[in-house]
Amino acid sequence: AAMTDYLGTQANPYDYGYPIEVMPDSIGSSLAKHYVMGRFSHENSLVLGDEKTVYQSDDGTNRILWKFVASEAGDLSAGTLYAAKITQDGEAFNIEWIELGTGSDDEIAETIAAMDLGQ
């Protein structure tokens, strides 16, 4: 009820749980919500030097290690999301990356906006 009161309309639960990129510059900063990077409790994100690959995790119990690969370096608004499948092999382990999907922030935002939640 609090979000509905604040927004003036029914809150859509699928609008929440995405990483926010903060891009500071000399006159302030801008923000971008990256729907395409997955919806979960994001923590410990690391963008690699290629400016395309982002590793993400959630440090709770039985959580997933995620990998996002952007379509273009320096632009996290479109790309492919993967989840790690880890197989224990003695003292070591193997990682297989399972592709979950490819898309863009715009595509996912449009899908969320079009949802009829019975409101």
Q: Provide the residue ranges of all domains of the chain, joining segments of one domain with +.
A: 2-113
Q: Considering the entire predicted model, what is its pTM?
A: 0.82
Could you tell me which residues are beta bridge partners of residue 54? 47, 68
And the tokens for 82?
């993967």
Give CA–CA dist 81/107, Å, rounded.
14
Work out the angle at residue 75's Cα, subtended by the Cα atoms of residues 72 and 77, and round it to the nearest 5 degrees: 105
Tens digit of each residue's pLDDT, the chain (119 residues): 687 788 887 778 888 888 888 888 877 788 899 999 998 887 888 999 999 999 999 877 888 899 999 999 999 999 999 999 999 988 999 999 999 999 999 999 999 888 877 65
